Amino acid sequence: MKKVIVIGAGISGLSAAIYAQRSGFNVTICEQHSIAGGMCTSWRRKGYLFEGAVHWLTGSSPKTVLYQLWKDTGALSDNVPVTCHDPFYSVEWEGKTLNIYRDIDKTAEQLLALSPEDKKVIESLVKDVKTLEKVEMPVTDIKGVKTENPKRMSLNLLLSLLPSLPVIGRLNKISCKDYTSFFKYRGIQKLFQFMPDEYCASSLLFTLASLHSGDGGYPEGGSLGMIAGMEKTFKDLGGALLLNTKVNKVNINNGKTIGVTLESGFLEADAVIVTQETIAACEKLFDIPLKEKWLCDLKEKISPAVCTFVGIGVRAEIKISPVPVWTLDTPIKCAGETINEIGFYNYSGLKGYAPEGCTALTTAFMGDTYDYWKKAKEEGRYNEEKKSLADEIIRVLCVKYPQTEGKIDVIDIATPLTYERYTGANKGSWMSVMKPGDKMTGRSGFVKNTEGLYFAGHRLMSPGGMPVALVSGRTAAQLVCRQFGVTF
């Protein structure tokens, strides 16, 4: 039986390992952390659970193609309830609460009542969303692999996607900031700024389209539940998961992958699938730099999506969900950046996230602040900076919701350095930023001149995310099957 080593036990690593093990390979996953999950993770602090990854999941609806893959890997099942929170997002503006509902017609009705002068732009928004809701991430087989259940792109599906191409082309040319500026009413502009300004507008519209289609729910158990299901599936198939096991090097001899070097020794393999974040892996795991063009281009062409993540445990009930974004009377500073608005995900009503009568809140400040935090660490003021930020967040929360005053049980801040430490990812980045003019480039994960070496992970297609990690893991398993003439 051929041996396959998978580096990393995130979604892409578990996906690759499950499909390879199911296809008849002897698979071992090496994971540097003490738990599986990689970027798809949550953590507990003083009785509170802070969801660090899944806020809405593409492919959570049984109507989607991706749902079957989530089921195949054990991340979802028909017995896992999926909550579709509605409204999806809210902001306060001039004494009113504006909402993004999952039903785009309901959202449009609200917006038209607020700003009749924006009718033309609102109608265009609705039309584009309904066009894009038909677009799904394709799941197909690679060329030359033998499969038990072939997946091909049907002609009917291709024809159904044709109307979306001009819309995608138009939206990919402008930023979210450009798109929101089309609205005259400032409140509507604020409402659609849940996506960072520099992202291309298609990111915003695709999110709205996913919600309108009935997808994008929150599975019970969140990140930890999904990873637990995938881990169980892999182990039940007979796979080996080695935690606290860092790979120092991928060993290549005469153009052939022969195994990996660990801190504790050497593991032999017939093939290696690297699912550690691709840029960091290329810098750290190879004695001689890989010359594959798509790998060389990554660092130059990819803009990492980076955030500072905050979780708060409150010994009081805040039942409004989501907590609407509001404008701060006094801005706060995060890693040198000015924050003028803040809002929170609220896990009130979800079992296990907070003690009875308490509330778990999370928020994230987007932006590449990696260098700021790194310098703070080097100069010995890292913890002081985190405490200062925590104090500011607590202050504005208590002013807005007085019932929280003196009842903050815990506030936990994860900086880009935190993500880097636990996952090894370049800059602690968990996605890529698709800016105007960027193409949704798919990368093969295949290294031409090195036999038995493959890559999977969110970097393989911009902007990335969990669906890309899932599908790329499946593709990597197919590449191994093709190499050895094994049926997938």
Q: Which domains does the chain have, with CATH numbers?
A: 3-41+219-303+435-484 (3.50.50.60), 87-137+150-213 (no CATH), 307-426 (no CATH)
Spatial CB neighbours of 473, under 8 Å, sequence gap ≥ 6:
11, 12, 13, 14, 15, 16, 17, 18, 19, 273, 275, 456
Q: Categorize the per-residue pLDDT at 440 as very low, low, confident or very high, splitting at 50, 70 and 90.
A: confident
From the number of C-beta atoms within 10 Å of its C-beta (0-12, 13-18, 19+), residue 125 rates as buried
Q: Categorize the per-residue pLDDT at 138 as very low, low, confident or very high, splitting at 50, 70 and 90.
A: confident
Q: Let me know: does 291 contact 449? Beta carbons within 8 Å.
A: yes
Give the type of residue at 8.
G
What is the reported pLDDT for 450?
Answer: 95
Closest alpha carbon to 209 in 127, 98, 322, 153 = 127
Angle at 369 between CA 245 and CA 243, to 5 degrees: 10
Q: Categorize the per-residue pLDDT at 296 as very low, low, confident or very high, splitting at 50, 70 and 90.
A: confident
Q: Categorize the per-residue pLDDT at 161 as very low, low, confident or very high, splitting at 50, 70 and 90.
A: confident
Q: What is the mean pLDDT of residues 132-142?
A: 91
Q: Categorize the per-residue pLDDT at 302 as very low, low, confident or very high, splitting at 50, 70 and 90.
A: confident
* Measured distance CA(4)–CA(21) in Å, rounded: 9
Q: Categorize the per-residue pLDDT at 155 as very low, low, confident or very high, splitting at 50, 70 and 90.
A: confident
Q: Give the HSE-up count for residue 180: Cα atoms under 13 Å, Cβ half-sphere.
A: 20
Q: What is the mean pLDDT of residues 234-246?
A: 98
pLDDT one-digit tens code per residue, 406-415:
999 999 999 9
Percentage, residues of the chain above pLDDT 70: 100
Q: Among 155-159, 213-217, 256-260, 277-281, which is the least confidently predicted range?
A: 155-159
* Measured distance CA(353)–CA(348) in Å, rounded: 8
Q: Let me know: does 261 contact 269? Beta carbons within 8 Å.
A: no
Q: What is the mean pLDDT of residues 333-358?
A: 95
Given a cut of 80, whether residue 159 has pLDDT beyond it is: no
Closest alpha carbon to 436 in 249, 273, 202 = 202
Q: What is the mean pLDDT of residues 396-402?
A: 96
Distances (CA, A) of 393 to 21, 52, 338, 400, 411: 46, 18, 13, 11, 9
pLDDT one-digit tens code per residue, 178-194:
999 999 999 999 999 99
Q: Among 129-133, 189-193, 434-438, 484-488, which is the least confidently predicted range?
A: 434-438
Given a cut of 90, whether residue 381 has pLDDT beyond it is: yes
Q: Let me know: does 131 contact 240? Beta carbons within 8 Å.
A: no
Q: What is the mean pLDDT of residues 258-285?
A: 96
pLDDT one-digit tens code per residue, 28-52:
999 999 999 999 999 999 999 999 9
Q: Are strands 218-219 and 82-83 parallel, antiparallel or unpaired?
A: antiparallel
* Measured distance CA(31)–CA(8) in Å, rounded: 5
Q: What is the DSSP string of 424-477?
A: --GGG--EE---TT----B---B-TTSBTEEE-SGGGBSS--HHHHHHHHHHHH
What is the reported pLDDT for 153?
Answer: 79
What is the reported pLDDT for 49?
Answer: 97
Give the type of residue at 58.
T
In this prediction the pTM is 0.96
Q: Let me know: does 268 contact 3? Beta carbons within 8 Å.
A: yes
